[in-house]
Chains A and B, each alone.
Chain A
């Protein structure tokens, strides 16, 4: 395994596919470890009694576990400081023992930023997450500028500052 500093420059053009990340089946132990490591202690993911009391047949994976797998897909492709935004929609539950695969594809390149559609699909074809990431096309050293601030965003209620 070569360190990221020697990783060859990746191809950022429309249509380029990221190398897929195929995960092994998710075990109950994986769910317990992720609960502790992520700080999401919701028992519905780790305690069968709790999952059943909530009306489920079994425990299911934390959504953020799959998003973290997608994060690995991205940071395995480009150095992390080139990721400018990353968002997902959780579309289906991930049952315990499910086997996720993360995929990504460049769908647009504009103004030095690439838009990558990402997704997680289980072995049975269920799509559990879909989303997008924006990635700086060039290495961070070339694009790091002082004006790199977060847009305050139209969502914020008027009259309130943070």
Chain B
């Protein structure tokens, strides 16, 4: 079923706060085989001029998954979660975030595009990440919704 574009753009996502934890950053670093001690060792981070362990470039996506129901918007739009793929991901960075920071995430649907005569829809979700009043980063995900029942 096609996504109602006006409805998608009007969806309200409550902002939510996430505290960045050192232990979580270390676990993330280990899970990606990170060897740079700046991402696991507070002393090494401080020697490199950081005030704590820095949030690595793609961890902002993980912060988004801390939302109370990170995929609830798909249900609200009638999208079958089994039909989605992650198509694109973009990050823009204004500041470095650190362990100990409380970051506030605000999300919204910024675009819906129909492709291949309706066999595919692209849903763009934008997330602003702020600390206090300051922008830290912006994440933009393009989710591909497959409609295999629609022939091209």
Contact = CB atoms under 8 A, between A and B. Distances in A.
A143 interface: no
Nearest to A65: B32
Interface stretch (A12-20, A67-75, A107-115): A67-75
Interface in B58-113: 58, 61-62, 65-66, 82, 85-96, 106, 108, 110-111
A64 B37 CA distance: 21
B93 A83 contact: yes
B44 A160 contact: no
Which of B87, B92, B94 counts the most chain A CB atoms within 10 A? B92
Interface residues of A, number: 47
A64 B58 contact: yes
B138 A87 contact: no
B88 A87 contact: yes
Contacts of B57: 71, 74-75, 80, 83, 86
A40 interface: yes
B145 interface: no
A88 B56 contact: no
A89 B88 contact: yes
B31 A3 contact: no
B48 A75 contact: no
A10 interface: no
B115 interface: no
B86 to A, nearest CB: 5
Interface string A70-95: 01101110011101111111100000
Contacts of B151: none
B39 to A, nearest CB: 8
Interface band, chain B:
35 or more
B126 A37 contact: no
Contacts of A1: 35-37
A3 B44 CA distance: 7
Given A36-B27, A37-B27, A155-B124, A3 B88 contact: no
Nearest to B71: A42
B19 to A, nearest CB: 14
B92 A38 contact: no
Contacts of B56: 68, 71, 75, 80
A8 interface: no
Contacts of B140: 87, 155
Nearest to A37: B31
B68 to A, nearest CB: 13
B31 A67 contact: no
A155 B127 CA distance: 12
Nearest to B81: A42
Interface of A: 1, 3-5, 23-24, 30, 33-34, 36-40, 54, 63-65, 67-69, 71-72, 74-76, 79-81, 83-90, 148-151, 153, 155-157, 160, 162
5 contacts: A38-B31, A71-B56, A87-B89, A89-B87, A156-B126
